């Protein structure tokens, strides 16, 4: 297998209640391509996954938001789940961390309910996006140009709908992290 993502590091921003497969599957895809992943959360210890609303595995936090900056990474992933995005979207450090990836023109990946974090950081206005069916109207209300497709790519911003789309989403994650910075990556257009 080719190690085309060798030398690339992906920040995975999550909190308790992330959808297990939306973190583990992209993590495995990057690592299989030779890249490194770092689990970033609000506190040290472990965060617990959900598996379709049931408790899932626990995963160790590598770094807290107080210990990282976007400069340390090549891209960021925000997995979905019902609770993790809700927790992150109300945390200013999380919003600032995600915004810094846009400012540095680095790839940003988000799936399912994860784009709610992008909404709260005012990063979807004028951007092509998708997300879980239940948040597509929220994305539209925030100024996003929403498509109900497995994967939507807009200049380094890659969004996806749900676990059924992980194959295509993971392929795009590896491709985009290998491409690196995107000059067209930008914060959202002012409303």
Candidates 135, 186, 114; CA nearest to 156 is: 186
| 44 falls within a domain | yes
| 100 falls within a domain | yes
Pair of tokens at residue 22: 């939306």
Lowest mean pLDDT among 69-73, 114-118, 164-168, 185-189: 185-189
Output the average pLDDT for the chain: 93
For residues 7-26, average pLDDT: 97
Confidence of residue 51 (pLDDT cuts 50, 70, 90): confident
For residues 86-96, average pLDDT: 98
- Could you give the percent of the chain with pLDDT greater than 70? 95
Burial class (CB in 10 A: 0-12, 13-18, 19+), 124: buried
| 191 falls within a domain | no
For residues 114-136, average pLDDT: 97
| 54 falls within a domain | yes
Residue 2 has what pLDDT? 67
CA–CA separation, 13 and 65 (whole Å): 9
Residue 66 has what pLDDT? 97
CA–CA separation, 55 and 43 (whole Å): 19
Lowest mean pLDDT among 14-18, 49-53, 114-118: 49-53
Position 190 pLDDT exceeds 70: no
Phi, psi of 184 (to 5 degrees): -80, -10
Catalytic sites, residue numbers? 112-113
- What CATH number has the domain bearing residue 21? 3.40.50.880
Position 75 pLDDT exceeds 80: yes
For residues 13-39, average pLDDT: 97
For residues 23-41, average pLDDT: 97
| 27 falls within a domain | yes
Domain that holds residue 114: 9-124+163-179
For residues 13-38, average pLDDT: 97
CA–CA separation, 81 and 6 (whole Å): 29
| 133 falls within a domain | no
For residues 67-82, average pLDDT: 97
pTM of the model: 0.94
| 25 falls within a domain | yes
Tens-digit pLDDT profile for residues 147-176: 999 999 999 999 999 999 999 999 999 999
Number of structural domains found in the chain: 1
- Could you give the percent of the chain with pLDDT greater than 90? 85
Residue 188 has what pLDDT? 54
Q: What would you report as the CA-atom Rg of the chain, rounded to the nearest whole angstrom?
A: 15
């Amino acid at each position: 297998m080719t190690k085309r993502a060798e030398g690339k590091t992906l920040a995975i921003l999550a909190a308790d209640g992330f959808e297990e497969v939306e973190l583990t599957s992209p993590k495995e895809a990057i690592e299989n391509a030779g890249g490194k992943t770092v689990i970033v959360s609000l506190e040290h210890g472990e965060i617990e996954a959900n598996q379709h609303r049931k408790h899932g595995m626990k995963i160790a936090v590598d770094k807290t938001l107080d210990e990282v900056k976007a400069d340390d990474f090549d891209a960021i992933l925000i997995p979905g789940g019902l609770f993790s995005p809700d927790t992150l979207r109300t945390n200013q450090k999380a919003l600032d961390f995600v915004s810094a990836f846009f400012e540095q023109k680095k790839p940003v990946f988000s799936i399912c309910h994860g784009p709610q974090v992008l909404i709260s950081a005012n990063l979807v206005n004028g951007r092509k996006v998708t997300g879980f069916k239940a948040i597509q109207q929220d994305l539209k209300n925030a100024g996003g140009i929403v498509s109900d497709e497995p994967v939507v790519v807009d200049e380094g911003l890659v969004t996806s709908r749900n676990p059924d789309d992980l194959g295509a989403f993971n392929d795009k994650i590896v491709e985009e992290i290998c491409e690196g910075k995107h000059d067209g990556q930008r914060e959202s257009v002012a409303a």
